[in-house]
Amino acid sequence: MTTTTTTTTETTATAPAPPAVDGAHQVRRRRRLSPGERLPATRITGPLLVLALWAAASAAGQLDPGAVPAPWTVVETGIRLWTEGTLTDDVLTSLQRAGAGFAIGLTAGIVLALAAGLSRVGEALIDGSVQLNRAVPTLGLIPLFILWLGIGETFKIAIIAIVVYIPIYLNTHAALSGIDHRFVELAEVQGLSRSAFVRQVVVPGALPGFFVGLRLGVTGSWLGLVVLEQINATSGLGYMMFQAQNYGQTDVILVGLVVYGLFGLVSDTAVRAIERRVLSWRRTLSS
């Protein structure tokens, strides 16, 4: 009989080997190669450390306040801009632009992907055109769109919509055309109508791909917003930061960056939460 008692006590190099029982070796645990158990609050530790270093360096007078203002200066500036109402106005303007562009891009992406994914005629008409559109960097269209639509809100919303619709279309269309052929066969055997097939097999099957596109689209809408507001705007968060650059107000620029960061963080968290709810059937696979 082999003994399989594990030993967890540290044995020093000089300690005699444990006596073998009936000629069998005592099992010693192997050296662990994986990183081991997770530390608590891992995700927040790094950012907090950076913040602490920043605050300490500012307090010690090691940082030029003109280049890197102290964290509390940024907070004070943020509060001042908010209570004066300028920050609120700029944030609302930016949110409206991003929201309108995103809504249009989302709708266009879904409609086009469904049309191209569900009919061969739709595929022939749409897919090639979108692939061409995708090859042209959307931000490169800005000069043309300014000439077409003027420098107002319409052109900004149009550019954001294009930035958003492309990843949503591409991922949803790929998911639609990648639906397992076995499920199509099953739907035929079960006598599903075309609309029931779309509702019960195609759409749920394409949702994981759609969510990949949605998250890329959300990120894209913020990226488009930042670029548009910093080059051709007279209002909005990007404009506020652009003005601050002219007057050397680093603290205002940092406030703008913090707000952009919050936009990105909140929207991504929201999309993830929706995804978790809608794709709850997937959790059983990954857990």
Partner 1 sequence: MAPHTEQLTRPAVRLRGLTRSFEGRTVLDGIDLDLPEGQFTALLGHSGSGKSTLLRAIAGIDHGVAGSGTLTAPERVSVVFQDSRLLPWRRVLPNVLLGLDGKDAEERGRAALAEVGLGGRERAWPSELSGGEQQRAALARSLVREPELLLADEPFGALDALTRIKMHALLRQLWERHRPSVLLVTHDVDEAIVLADRVLVLEDGRIALDLTIDRDGPHAHGEYRTRLLKALGVSEDAP
By the criterion CB under 8 A, which residues form the site for partner 1?
A: 182-183, 185-192, 196, 200-201, 204-205, 207, 279, 281-282, 284-285
Q: For the CB of residue 122, give the shortest distance to partner 1 in the complex, in Å.
A: 20
Q: Is the dihedral of CA 65, 67, 69, 75 positive or negative?
A: positive
CA–CA gap between residue 253 and residue 242 (Å, rounded): 8
- DSSP class of residue 198 equals I
Do strands 27-28 and 6-7 pair parallel, antiparallel, or not at all (unpaired)? parallel
CA–CA gap between residue 213 and residue 126 (Å, rounded): 18
Q: For the CB of residue 9, give the shortest distance to partner 1 in the complex, in Å.
A: 41
Per DSSP, the three-state class of 109 is: helix
* Closer Cβ to partner 1, 130 or 202, answer by number: 202
CB 130 within 8 A of CB 170: yes
Q: For the CB of residue 123, give the shortest distance to partner 1 in the complex, in Å.
A: 18
CA angle centred on 164, ends 162 and 166, rounded to 5°: 70
Q: For the CB of residue 113, give the shortest distance to partner 1 in the complex, in Å.
A: 18
* Closer Cβ to partner 1, 179 or 233, answer by number: 179
Per DSSP, the three-state class of 231 is: helix
* Closer Cβ to partner 1, 9 or 286, answer by number: 286
Tokens of 176: 């639609």
* Closer Cβ to partner 1, 62 or 280, answer by number: 280
CB 221 within 8 A of CB 102: yes
* Closer Cβ to partner 1, 187 or 233, answer by number: 187
Q: For the CB of residue 207, give the shortest distance to partner 1 in the complex, in Å.
A: 8
* Closer Cβ to partner 1, 26 or 177, answer by number: 177
CB 71 within 8 A of CB 55: yes
CA–CA gap between residue 169 and residue 127 (Å, rounded): 9
* Closer Cβ to partner 1, 207 or 255, answer by number: 207
> Bridge-partner residues for 6, per DSSP?
27
